[in-house]
Structures are given as structure tokens and as C-alpha cells.
Amino acid sequence: MNEKEFLTAKERALNSLNKAFREEKTDNNIISLLNIINNIKEFYTTSSCEGRTVLLEIPRIGDKRRAKFLGKWHDTVNIDDIKEASKKAEKGLIWLLAQSPVVHIGCANINIADKLLKISIASGFKHSGLKSSKRKYIVEICSTERLDSPVGKDGFLFCNEDYLQLLVDISNEIYRVSKVKIHKLELNLRQNFV
């Protein structure tokens, strides 16, 4: 990808991000990070999730295509949130997932991509990697914290209260750790690029 192609791709990505901002489709906790990145000449964000807790109904292991979201939270959760969302369940296993943030960043060249990758890893996003295709350098910023636990089946939660509380506590801890890491990454980006 030459400089002109990079600038065109960045413009397109920013237009679509601004549309998402206007429609309030962007996760609030990550907007400041996205702005920092997009203000750096050599980068643009292509997709992002600030991290979330999800209640998911999955008919078969790994069958994400037929998975149904029962609840989705970009914040801490409590047991009642989970119970309420589980009422929409019908058939299959119900899973509680806590996912740490993911951001994909288009980079102008491989040297700057390498630099971003090192800073991301140093900020705690240990699972980050450089994902390329023939024409693009995309850095994926992501971390290792996660929870993937079955909590119910065929419309009913089968966990007892104590266990569900533990899973909720773990999900909230992952959410808090994620916020700290996002903040650390923001600081490190400012120090190194701004």
C-alpha cells in the first residue's frame, strides 16, 4: 500500500468512524483512545471493542454464526442483569463471556506498525499481533484476560447463586483491568507519538 492508498483508506475509515460516533454506535470508554490513535498521521483505527461482558446462547460449540446475544454490557454487571437477560433464552447452552478490549489499527508502514506493537505489549496487551495481508499492515491490540463459562441450558440458568456471583465478579474484574490497560496505552501513545 503506497502513501496515497494509505491516506484514502484512512479517510474512508475516519468517515465511517464519525458516522458511528454520530449514531452513538461507538463504545464510550474507548473513544478517547481511538481519537489519540487517529490523530497520529501514520495510523487509523478500523474496528474496536472496548471489552464487554456477554450472555450468549450457542446451539453448538464454536458455532458463532448461530449464536444469539441475550445480553451485552460495556460496563460492570450484577447477577440481576444476567438473570433478566437469560429470560430470552430458548434452546442450547447459555454462556457467560467476559472479553477484554480489541482494537485494529491500519499502519502506514511496517516500521511504525512494529513500534505500535511493542508499545501495546508493554501497556499490558500481551496478545497483540501484527496481522498483515498482501497490501496492508494491521496491528491487532488485544489482551489475555477472558472468561468463557457455560451457565445454563435450554432457557434456564443452572448455576447456583454463589457461582454466578463469582463469574460476575470475575467479569467485572476483567472490565476494570481492561480500563486500566486502555489508560496505560493512551499514556504510552502520547509519550511516544504525540
Residue choice 7, 14, 129, 184 for contact with a second copy (CB under 8 A):
129
Choice between 36 and 101, CB closer to a second copy: 101
How many other C-beta atoms can be found within 10 angstroms of the C-beta atom of residue 14?
Answer: 14
Q: Is 2 in the site for a second copy (CB under 8 A)?
A: no
Buried b (16+ CB within 10 A) or exposed e, 114-129: eebbebbeebbbeebe
Q: Where are the beta strands (DSSP E) in 36-171?
A: 43-49, 52-58, 68-73, 93-99, 102-107, 129-132, 137-142, 146-153, 156-157
Q: Is 155 in the site for a second copy (CB under 8 A)?
A: no
Q: Residue 127 and residue 32: Cα distance in Å, rounded? A: 22
Three-state DSSP at 176 gives helix
Choice between 26 and 140, CB closer to a second copy: 140
Choice between 26 and 42, CB closer to a second copy: 42
> How far, in whole angstroms, is CA 143 from its chain's centroid?
9
Stretch that binds a second copy, among 18-26, 33-41, 148-156, 185-193 (CB under 8 A): 148-156
Residue choice 35, 158, 161, 180 for contact with a second copy (CB under 8 A):
158
Q: Is 61 in the site for a second copy (CB under 8 A)?
A: yes
Q: Residue 139 and residue 132: Cα distance in Å, rounded? A: 8
Residue choice 15, 78, 111, 192 for contact with a second copy (CB under 8 A):
111
Residue choice 28, 35, 110, 180 for contact with a second copy (CB under 8 A):
110
Joined grid coordinates for residue 53: 461482558
Q: In whole angstroms, how close is the CB of 2 to a second copy at the nearest point?
A: 16
DSSP symbols for 120-138: HHHTT-TT-EEEE-SS-EE
How many other C-beta atoms can be found within 10 angstroms of the C-beta atom of residue 142?
Answer: 20
Q: Is 79 in the site for a second copy (CB under 8 A)?
A: no
Choice between 36 and 167, CB closer to a second copy: 167
Q: Is 27 in the site for a second copy (CB under 8 A)?
A: no
Q: Is 122 in the site for a second copy (CB under 8 A)?
A: no
Interacting residue ranges for a second copy, rule: CB under 8 A? 61-62, 64, 100, 110-111, 114, 126, 129-134, 137, 140, 143-150, 158-160, 162-163, 166-167, 170, 173-174, 177
